Amino acid sequence: MAERSFAKEVQKLKQGEGDTFAGEGILAITKALLENGVGYVGGYQGSPISHLMDVLADAEEILSELGVHFEASASEATATAMLAASVHYPIRGAVTYKSVVGTNVASDALSNLASGGVTGGALIIVGEDYGEGSSIMQERTYAFAMKSQVWMLDPRPNLPAIVKAVGDGFELSEVSNTPVMLQVGIRSCHVHGHFEARDNKRPPVTVSDALENPARKLDRIVLPPATYLHEEEKLTKRLPAAQKFILDREINERFGAPGSKVGLILQGGTYNTVIRALNRLGLADLYGDTEMDMLVLNCVYPLVDSQIMAFCEGKDAVLIIEEGQPNYIEQQIAHMLYKAGKTVKLEGKGMLPMGGEYTGQVMVDGLGTFLSDHAPDMLPVAKLASNEDPIAIPDLSKVLPARPPGFCTGCPERPIFAATKLVEEELGEHHISSDIGCHLFSIMPPFDLGATTMGYGLGPASAAAFHNENKKGRRSISFVGDGGFWHNGLTSSVGNAVFNKSDNVIVIVDNFYSAATGGQDILSSRATNKTKQTQNSIVEACKGMGVKWIRQIDRTYDVTKVRDTLKEALTTEEEGPKVIVASSECMLNKQRRVKPELAKAAKEGKRVVRPRFGVDEDICTGDHACMRLSGCPSLSVKDTGDPLRDDPVAAIDQTCVGCGNCGEVADAAVLCPSFFQAEIVSNPSAGEKRRARRSQKIISWLQSRRDAKRVAFA
């Protein structure tokens, strides 16, 4: 199950006419899907759209009431292929994933879907993970929309606008027989707001109905000669239909005073930032009322030439506000204007930065420059000439320690990399390929392990070129998570290594969940899930793929064992890929699962053991070698207050979950004996108590006897 229960949110999905929905943008989209009679939903979890999947996963009952089929797709390609249900049948379908990475994976299915076109509305909700807080490479999904000719909506970032875009998207898709992308940014997904709910709609045709009455139209199937007709149809039928719809339904909005000498053309998603910038420049009030003439593109692809030309008519200068690069929209508009021989000055990139997120200050600066160049009279004087001399604030960049994300307290992946470090101390450094997932934090201190990351499930694949002519020479080590393994690692990485007789080492980091995306279940999850088949063995899958040398480690915290196994994998004579499956439950999810259970058991008087680690500060010498092999948030440094000692000693705080890594590392690396494990037993058995009391008596007798004979600290 996902790390968060969405029981509350699920209730919101039941709201109807007259209710006001309050919540996150991503939940609003989920509700909007149901209001628009969606027939099936799929997708692959990933920030920022994970919650959409998680909520629907918890909403099974409502969905079945409505006859809506939901499934968590194996990958973004699977999700997009799922939209095939809308090719021949008038069923609305929606899928969602993180973009641009998800769209990359989906692009094969996307091209096919786009070529044949659709009958029922097909909506692809892409969580555009761009700008601050993004976890992926900075690229635009826009290119996919253009090359496959699927339409792309980028609504203004407020709940009513986003919700409206869902309905518009389905209709646009249907009138133009084209799949439609709905693009939402990270913050739009997590924005908290309100909108007026409508009743959920049961799909007029369900997927079950379709199965009972199969249909096929030859001209929608992607196979020559139909493909040539598809291209033709895209240009002559689908595009015009879409453009007509965009005009008729006023998808794009005009704000401000028409006919003024300068104007802005902007993506809907940037609207709020633009208004705030105008407000700060004294050109708009806080409700968005402004003199500035603006064309807001809630549909960024396709553009409607006539609309653009009409907007530019009679203007001296127009600023295109387009986040990310290349500046596709600006290029298209420049092309239109040039062809029509217009003289209006086109500004865009250059006045605004070529790349990077358009934050508040960037927007203020960009608009400021645009206006001072083309409409200085519009800018209030005060804004132009600064009479406040700025106060010099000390530069802290040298002082502040970086705080990159890292492994959580008690993370079962930490010991795997501690072991890897120990192996490297023995056998020297190796080439290490990393993958997508929490385990990628190995790149950061204290481990500093991993050279490349080439995509989800592609860790071992990205080591494919490293074939050592010397059989006794070094091998590469590559990591892949259980999530990546099932996403496509099984074939692209493991299968490929087997087929090509790779001698390299593959470590599959199995934490029982798709943890980095929020703890969703996957094929090998250990939990029983009433709507999914879990508990499928990774080891068996690898064997099925033809892996001969494979080791299963059931407790990653056993650093010594992980170290020795990895060492064996790197040195064994055996040919073919060496696969190690290192399994322990994600601690974040385990704590969420176990804590309440233990509390309950303790209340009921059952025997409960709470483990915790500690450090004997008189034994710790303050070398911090343990932290160079851990980086656990609960293991930190503290002053002893003893003038005889210079360096702070190790200390473990209350947040420790007693995973055991500290002790195991101290043991495996032969560090020091300062660590101890304390297990606090609630509701101990009578015998246990008796034994404890007896040994305690004898122990304290011995202690007092010794203390009586020596000068020592009491």
Partner 1 sequence: MNIQANPIVARRSPGPDGEKVITLAALAVGGQGGGVLTNWIVAVAEANGYRAQSTSVAGVAQRTGATIYYVEMCRDTGRAPVFSLSPSIGDVDILIASELMEGGRAIMRGFVTPGRTTLITSTHRIAAVSEKINPGDGRVDGTDVVEAMGIAADHVVAFDMESVAKKAGSVISSSLLGALAGSGALPFPRDSFEDVIRGSGRGVEASLRAFGEAYEIAKGTKPAPLPEEIAAPIVPVLHVPQKLATKWAALEARVAALPDAVKDMTALGLKKVVDYQDVAYGSDYLDMVEKMVALDAAPFDLSMNAAKYCARALCYDDLLRVADIKTRASRFERVKDEVVVKDDQVLMLTEYFHPRFEEFATTLPKSIGKWLQRRKGIEAFYTKHFDKGRRIRTDSLRGFMMLWVVSSLRPIRRKLLRHEGEMAHMAAWFNTAMDVAKTDPALASEVLANYRLIKGYSDTHARGLSKFARVMGALDLLKGRNDAADWMRRLRVAALDDVKGDKLDGALATVKSFAG
Q: Does 359 bind partner 1 (CB under 8 A)?
A: yes
Helix H or strand E encompassing 261: none
Binding residue count for partner 1, defined by CB under 8 A: 135
Q: Strand locations in 131-261, DSSP E?
A: 151-153, 180-185, 192-196, 253-255
The token pair that represents 648 in the structure block: 């702070």
Interface of this chain with partner 1, residues 125 to 154, rule: CB under 8 A: 132-133, 135
Count the Cβ atoms, other than its own, within 10 Å of residue 135.
15
Which CB sits closer to partner 1, 308 or 587? 587
Identify which of 65, 63, 96 has the alpha carbon closest to the alpha carbon of residue 82.
96
Q: Does 641 bind partner 1 (CB under 8 A)?
A: yes
Beta pairing, strands 317-321 & 262-267: parallel
Which CB sits closer to partner 1, 215 or 681? 681
Beta pairing, strands 345-347 & 299-301: unpaired
| Contact track, partner 1, 54-93, x by CB under 8 A | ----------------------------------------
Out of 67, 167, 368, 576, the only residue in the binding site for partner 1 (CB under 8 A) is 368
Between CA 580 and CA 565 the distance in angstroms is 8
Q: Does 402 bind partner 1 (CB under 8 A)?
A: yes
Out of 153, 295, 308, 671, the only residue in the binding site for partner 1 (CB under 8 A) is 671
Interface of this chain with partner 1, residues 189 to 248, rule: CB under 8 A: 190-193
Which CB sits closer to partner 1, 112 or 584? 584
| Contact track, partner 1, 544-583, x by CB under 8 A | ----------------x-----------------------
Q: Does 161 bind partner 1 (CB under 8 A)?
A: no
Between CA 147 and CA 141 the distance in angstroms is 10
Out of 116, 157, 179, 495, the only residue in the binding site for partner 1 (CB under 8 A) is 157
- Burial class of residue 76 in the structure, from the number of CB atoms within 10 Å of its CB (0-12 exposed, 13-18 middle, 19+ buried): buried
Q: Does 681 bind partner 1 (CB under 8 A)?
A: yes
Q: Does 637 bind partner 1 (CB under 8 A)?
A: yes
Between CA 146 and CA 427 the distance in angstroms is 50
Q: Does 343 bind partner 1 (CB under 8 A)?
A: no
Q: Does 349 bind partner 1 (CB under 8 A)?
A: no
Q: Does 282 bind partner 1 (CB under 8 A)?
A: yes
Which CB sits closer to partner 1, 314 or 405? 405
Q: Does 256 bind partner 1 (CB under 8 A)?
A: no
| Contact track, partner 1, 617-636, x by CB under 8 A | -xx-xxxxx-xx--x-x-xx
The token pair that represents 326 in the structure block: 């290349």
Residues in Cβ contact with 564 at an 8 Å cutoff, skipping those fewer than 6 apart: none
CB of 612 to partner 1, least distance (A): 5
Between CA 292 and CA 256 the distance in angstroms is 5
Q: Does 663 bind partner 1 (CB under 8 A)?
A: yes
Between CA 37 and CA 677 the distance in angstroms is 56
- For the sheet with 180-185, list strands across it: 69-72, 40-43, 93-99, 122-128, 180-185, 151-153, 299-301
Interface of this chain with partner 1, residues 472 to 511, rule: CB under 8 A: none
Of the ranges 176-184, 523-531, 541-549, 698-706, which one interacts with partner 1 (CB under 8 A)?
698-706
Strand partners, 296: 253, 266
Of the ranges 75-83, 241-249, 353-361, 489-497, which one interacts with partner 1 (CB under 8 A)?
353-361
Beta pairing, strands 345-347 & 452-453: unpaired
For 446, the 3-state DSSP assignment is coil
Out of 18, 214, 218, 396, the only residue in the binding site for partner 1 (CB under 8 A) is 396
The token pair that represents 685 in the structure block: 């058995």
| Interhelix angle 414-427/661-668, nearest 10 degrees | 10
Q: Does 297 bind partner 1 (CB under 8 A)?
A: no
- Burial class of residue 342 in the structure, from the number of CB atoms within 10 Å of its CB (0-12 exposed, 13-18 middle, 19+ buried): middle
CB of 521 to partner 1, least distance (A): 18
Which CB sits closer to partner 1, 209 or 667? 667
The token pair that represents 166 in the structure block: 């869902």
The token pair that represents 614 in the structure block: 């500690």
Out of 350, 355, 376, 405, the only residue in the binding site for partner 1 (CB under 8 A) is 405
Interface of this chain with partner 1, residues 577 to 616, rule: CB under 8 A: 588, 609, 612, 614, 616
CB of 356 to partner 1, least distance (A): 9
- For the sheet with 432-434, list strands across it: 452-453, 432-434, 477-481, 505-510, 578-583, 549-553
Out of 218, 399, 465, 686, the only residue in the binding site for partner 1 (CB under 8 A) is 399
Interface of this chain with partner 1, residues 420 to 479, rule: CB under 8 A: 438, 441, 444-446
Which CB sits closer to partner 1, 133 or 259? 133
DSSP summary character for residue 492:
I
